[in-house]
Amino acid sequence: MSSHDDQDRAWFHSQFISLSTRKTGFEWQAFVNDLMHAVHPGDFVAVDPSGRGDKGCDGWVGGLMLACYGAGNPNQRYVTRKIESDFTTALKYWGDSMDRWAFVHNNANGLPEMAARAVIELRRQHRGSVRIELWPPQVLWNHCAFLPRERLATITGSPPSDHPAGMSYIARCVESLARTRLTPGLDPVREVAHGKIEHNGFGPEVADLIRRFQVHTGHVRYYFTFASPGEQAQVSENLRARFAGHRALLESPDAVFHALCDDLVVEAFRGGGYADKAQQRSAALMVVTHFFEKCEIFEAPEEQSRAASF
């Protein structure tokens, strides 16, 4: 496997886990369904919950029944009741077709203690009749990691190119961040502190991604040498606001980083005319990494005393 293949696989994995933690409710169920359709084309059965409801089945294939639950910060009593009620309902209405039952959730850190005990108890009660499984994002990834690159990209987005993005792609990203009027009185943009990647607790895949794209941020700096006065400060302010919004909702620094890049790809290129998806992703990564280096998105080590680190 080439180094480019390794980079692709690392990006797909970290992006997949990030997307999983960011999707909730029906978005999470739709995400799971898209993956299952890709893995089991023509065999996976998705059940529309409208009308009379799904009767405890969020999807079925080959005797495997899925129950999907997506929440950013699950309440353990609610999750426990949902596990018990989803399984009981599925067993009542689909029992003859259910050899395995999987609770597919989006918490990469695991289930709350009370919910974990409920799963263990269900396994004890139904040992020998139904196999009860837990599918956090890591297990869901293992289920679909073998998919061809093109098929994964339709679900998670395209991975970046291993070359710098063209200047027109960088410009489009910057322009999309510069649409909001600048607020006067901004603090000056500060240089990134040594050890900032380690301090923020990025996973190894995202840390490596940032280091790879730090090599290319000179292209972004070059763009700003010809930009209108104040444009970099304006873009910096807007990116800080987006960062604050994602950080308030997401626990993982990896998820925040990917969310910023995803926002930029969607907003900068929604109008069409820029066909190279890998260049789009590379441009977004270059711009976000540039401001990771130059402005207050994520924490510098000396900020530890002022705010809790990730």
What are the pLDDT digits (tens) for 263-274?
999 999 987 778
The residue ranking higher by pLDDT, 275 or 94, is: 94
Go through the chain and tell me how many residues it has: 310
Task: Decide which of 2.40.10, 3.30.450, 1.10.3470, 3.40.1350 is the CATH code for 3-143.
Answer: 3.40.1350
Domain spans in the chain, listed from the N-terminal domain onward? 3-143, 160-294
d(CA 160, CA 15): 11
Q: Burial letters for 29-61: b for 16+ Cβ neighbours within 10 Å, e otherwise?
A: bebbbebbbbbeeeebebbeeeeeebebbbbbb
Tell me the three state secondary structure of residue 139. helix
The residue ranking higher by pLDDT, 194 or 117, is: 117
Q: Is the pLDDT of residue 38 over 80?
A: yes
Q: What angle do CA 239, 211, 277 make, to 5 degrees?
A: 65
Torsion of CA 23, 27, 29, 35, to 10 degrees: -80
Tell me the three state secondary structure of residue 135. strand
Q: Is the pLDDT of residue 290 over 70?
A: yes
What does the pLDDT read at residue 31?
A: 95
If pLDDT is split at 50, 70 and 90, which confidence band does 232 have? confident
For residue 69, the surrounding DSSP H or E stretch is: strand 64-69
What does the pLDDT read at residue 4?
A: 43
